């Protein structure tokens, strides 16, 4: 009897469970899909945020590079400029810039998403995207401080950094990158390739830096009466080297992060980025070794940065060998450009920002048209891609350099762009900020 | 033999070196110095607290010369260091009792030249 009862219970249980199992089977497989999707979304958010934090750390890198390559008497000023262009830029980009760049476009620029209006506070993707884009905008802004180092009035610099993140950077950005969110621009519709911003971030910053350095004029003592350039030594090469390593580290967020997707492409882009930087450093060192008879540390450091800048546009679509070639070419380019700007153009760029970011950003953008595995000239893609790249890079030059000249000229005629000669000689730390960077140390201030 | 000691503005050192070089005065010692004179100093502030800096950064040049080079050297220093503003510095000329070159043991004018 007991056996029969057990048997019945067993049958009843089976009868009860069967429909459940039948119903559960498809439900379970669709929930696996949802979970996979949700996981991927969250991985994307986590990776994009980590990348944003890495790019934020590049601010520290820029601050150290610029402080190291300039004189001790201006170190506080350089650090304040780096702190404030990020802070002012963050607010300006949040309120206006982001909307101009990524809002629904009117054909020329975005017109929605100002201050992220209409986006619920919470887990929305837009917040992740905002912090990621904010650190990019601030990178473009901070490039300029190096080229304008040691002679710029602090107030004038604050005004400049407000305007670059307010509209100069975002409007060009909307032409090339607007489609990453709600916008869309004419350059990206033409097929312009700028994966992480050789043009959008670095060239824009570099050409603005050129405009600023031209309007400012050279530092006192940079050019002798015979117009021959003189060396004004940076005061701390270890700091500059630390800055370059920090920037290199941050670039692993800058390029691989621009996928905004957590998958295998992160690793691949990290490889091409790293190869190009290494090639740039090696070649720049070799070129300086031949020209100046010694492997010059500041040129090798600039070479690494040049390699990073130039691989920024093509990093996702080139072969590893292509990445090495791109980096190697800019190793030559950065040294010759530094010498050309110093000796021929006679524009005083204390840290080489125009060469590293402007010129190598331009090369990187063109390199995407040469080395891209699908559409590049060297891979049978013809001249079309290269033409589009040249158009984009040329537009960036006209836009940033032209607006830069107007902006810096307007600042110099109103609130003033340059400090007095007395203040420049004494140092901007005391003149602008009333304190010294190295109180208690004995410093030879002879230039 | 005279010892010429000059206190100049740090940022004029390049110009002074250049004008000394042009006048064939190649030997000098340069040290950092702090000092004050007519130029009264300036204010600094640290975390909201003011303090007065009255010792200013200067550069001290010491040049030992034979008699015939004294005026040339003085003129060259003035040429390089003069701006007309207060704080340009001062030049002191001292009698030099003895001079010995360590490497050769030469004494006096030969050791200076």
What is the DSSP-derived secondary structure letter of residue A291? Answer: H
* pLDDT value for A445: 63
d(CA A383, CA A392) in angstroms, rounded, equals: 14
CB-CB neighbours of A439 under 10 Å: 11
Q: Count the Cβ atoms, other than its own, within 10 Å of residue A132.
A: 21
Whether A182 is in a domain gets the answer yes
Nearest to A445 among B10, B42, B44 (CB): B10
Q: Give the residue-averaged pLDDT of A293-297.
A: 93
A109-122 pLDDT, tens digit per residue, is 999 999 999 899 98
Residue A415 to chain B, least CA–CA distance (Å)? 24
Taking CB atoms and an 8 Å limit, are B45 and A435 in contact across chains?
yes
Vertex A308 angle, CA A304 and A314, to 5°: 145
Report the alpha-carbon distance of residue A304 to residue A251 in Å, rounded: 11
Question: Cα(A349)–Cα(A17) distance, rounded to whole angstroms?
Answer: 78
Find the Cα–Cα–Cα–Cα dihedral A30, A33, A38, A43, rounded to 10°: 170
Q: To the nearest whole angstrom, how far is the Cα of A157 from the nearest Cα of chain B?
A: 22
Q: What is the pLDDT of residues A39-92, one digit of tens each?
A: 999 999 999 999 999 999 999 999 999 999 999 999 999 999 999 999 999 999
Q: What is the CATH number of domain B2-112?
A: 3.30.70.120
In chain B, domain spans: 2-112
Whole-angstrom distance, CA of residue A189 vs CA of residue A395: 15
Distance from CA of B22 to the nearest CA of A (A): 15
Q: What is the pLDDT of residue A212?
A: 97
Closest CA to A261 of A50, A48, A35, A53: A48
Q: Across chain A, what does the average pLDDT equal? A: 92
8 Å CB contact of A444 and B32: yes
C-beta atoms surrounding A386 within 10 Å: 20
> Which pLDDT score is estimated for A100?
96
Closest by Cβ to A447, choosing from B11, B32, B57 = B11
Given a contact cutoff of 8 angstroms between Cβ atoms, the answer to whether A284 and A352 are in contact is no
Structural domain that includes position A413: 33-433
In this predicted structure, what is the pLDDT of residue A221?
86
A19 in a structural domain: no
Mean pLDDT across A166-195: 94
* The pLDDT of residue A30: 82
Task: Please give the Cα distance from A190 to A434 (Å, whole number).
Answer: 51
Per-position pLDDT tens, chain B of length 113: 999 999 998 888 888 999 999 999 999 999 999 888 776 777 777 777 777 777 888 899 999 999 999 999 999 999 999 988 888 999 999 999 999 999 999 998 888 87
Q: Is A25 a member of any domain? A: no
Per-residue confidence at A15, pLDDT binned at 50, 70, 90? low
Distance in angstroms (rounded) separating the CA atoms of residues A247 and A206: 16
| A407 located within any domain | yes
Q: Got the DSSP string for A88-104?
A: HHHHHIIIIIHHHHHS-
Residues 6 or more apart in contact with residue A433 via CB below 8 angstroms: A76, A77, A80, A154
- Assigned domain for A2 exists: no
Distance separating alpha carbons of residues A380 and A281, to the nearest angstrom: 30
Find the radius of gyration of the CA atoms of chain B: 17
Closest-approach residue (CA) in chain B for A447: B11
From the candidates A72, A434, A436, which should be mutated to test the interface with B, based on the most B CB atoms within 10 A? A434
A8 belongs to a structural domain: no
Query: Which residues are CB-neighbours of B48 under 8 A, at least 6 positions away?
Result: none
Count structural domains, chain A: 1
Type and span of the H or E element at B64: strand B56-65
What value does the mean pLDDT take over residues A227-241?
92
pLDDT, residue A299, reads 93
Contact A45, A39 (CB under 8 A): no
Which residue of chain A is at minimal alpha-carbon distance from B50? Answer: A434
pTM: predicted TM-score of the whole model, two decimal places: 0.87
Closest-CA residue of chain B to A432: B44
**Residues 6 or more apart from B36 whose CB is under 8 A from it?**
B54, B55, B56
For A384-424, how does the pLDDT look when each residue is reduced to its tens digit (9 = 90+)? 999 999 999 999 999 999 999 999 999 999 999 999 998 99
The verdict on a CB contact (< 8 Å) between B10 and A435 is: no
Flag if B44 and A430 touch (Cβ within 8 Å).
yes
CA distance B92 to chain A (A): 21
In angstroms, the CA A48 to CA A248 distance is: 18
d(CA A416, CA A111): 33
């Amino acid at each position: 009897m007991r056996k029969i009862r057990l048997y019945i219970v067993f049958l009843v249980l089976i009868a009860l469970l069967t429909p459940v199992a039948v119903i559960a089977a498809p439900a379970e497989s669709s929930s696996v899909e949802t979970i996979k999707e949700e996981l991927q979304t969250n991985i994307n958010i986590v990776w994009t945020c980590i990348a944003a934090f890495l790019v934020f750390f590049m601010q520290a890198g820029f601050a150290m590079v610029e402080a190291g390559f300039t004189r001790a008497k201006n170190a506080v000023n350089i650090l304040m400029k780096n702190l404030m262009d990020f802070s002012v830029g963050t607010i300006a980009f949040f309120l206006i810039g982001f909307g101009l760049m990524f809002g629904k476009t009117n054909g020329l620029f975005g017109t929605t998403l100002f201050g992220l209006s209409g986006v619920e506070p919470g887990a929305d993707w837009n917040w992740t995207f905002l912090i990621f884009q904010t650190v990019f905008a601030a990178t473009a802004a901070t490039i300029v401080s190096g080229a304008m180092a040691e002679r710029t009035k602090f107030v004038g610099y604050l005004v400049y950094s407000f305007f670059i993140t307010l509209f100069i950077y975002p409007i060009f950005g909307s032409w090339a990158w607007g489609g990453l969110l709600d916008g869309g621009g004419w350059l990206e519709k033409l097929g312009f390739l700028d994966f992480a911003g050789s043009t959008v971030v670095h060239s824009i910053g570099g050409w603005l830096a050129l405009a600023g350095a031209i309007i400012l004029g050279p530092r006192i003592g940079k050019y002798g009466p015979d117009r021959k350039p003189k060396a004004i030594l940076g005061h701390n090469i270890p700091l500059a080297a630390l800055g370059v390593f920090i920037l290199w580290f941050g670039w692993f967020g800058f390029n691989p992060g621009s996928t905004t997707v957590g998958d295998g492409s992160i690793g691949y882009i990290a490889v091409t980025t790293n190869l190009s930087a290494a090639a740039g450093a090696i070649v720049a060192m070799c070129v300086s070794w031949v020209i100046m008879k010694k492997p010059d540390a500041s040129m090798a450091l600039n070479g690494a940065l040049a390699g990073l800048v130039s691989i920024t546009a093509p990093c996702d679509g080139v072969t590893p060998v292509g990445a090495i070639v791109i980096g190697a070419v800019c190793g030559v380019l950065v040294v010759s450009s530094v010498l050309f700007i110093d000796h021929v153009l006679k524009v005083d760029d204390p840290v080489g920002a125009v060469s590293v970011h402007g010129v190598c950003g331009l090369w990187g953008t063109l390199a995407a048209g040469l080395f891209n595995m699908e559409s590049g000239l060297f891979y049978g893609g013809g001249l079309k891609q290269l033409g589009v790249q040249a158009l984009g890079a040329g537009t960036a030059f006209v836009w940033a350099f032209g607006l830069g000249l107007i902006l810096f000229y307007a600042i110099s005629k109103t609130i003033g762009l340059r400090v007095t000669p007395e203040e420049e000689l004494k140092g901007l730390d005391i003149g602008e900020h009333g304190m010294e960077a190295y109180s208690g140390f004995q410093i030879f201030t002879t230039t | 033999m005279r010892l010429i000691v000059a206190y100049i503005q740090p940022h004029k050192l390049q110009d002074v070196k250049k004008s000394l070089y042009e006048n064939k005065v190649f030997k000098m010692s340069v040290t950092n110095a702090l000092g004050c004179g007519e130029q009264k100093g300036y204010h600094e502030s640290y975390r909201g607290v003011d303090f007065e800096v009255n010792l200013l950064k200067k550069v001290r040049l010491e040049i030992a010369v034979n008699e015939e080079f004294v005026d040339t050297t003085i003129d060259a220093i003035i040429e390089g260091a003069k701006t007309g503003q207060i704080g340009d510095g001062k030049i002191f000329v001292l009698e030099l009792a003895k001079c010995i070159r360590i490497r050769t043991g030469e004494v006096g004018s030969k050791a200076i030249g």
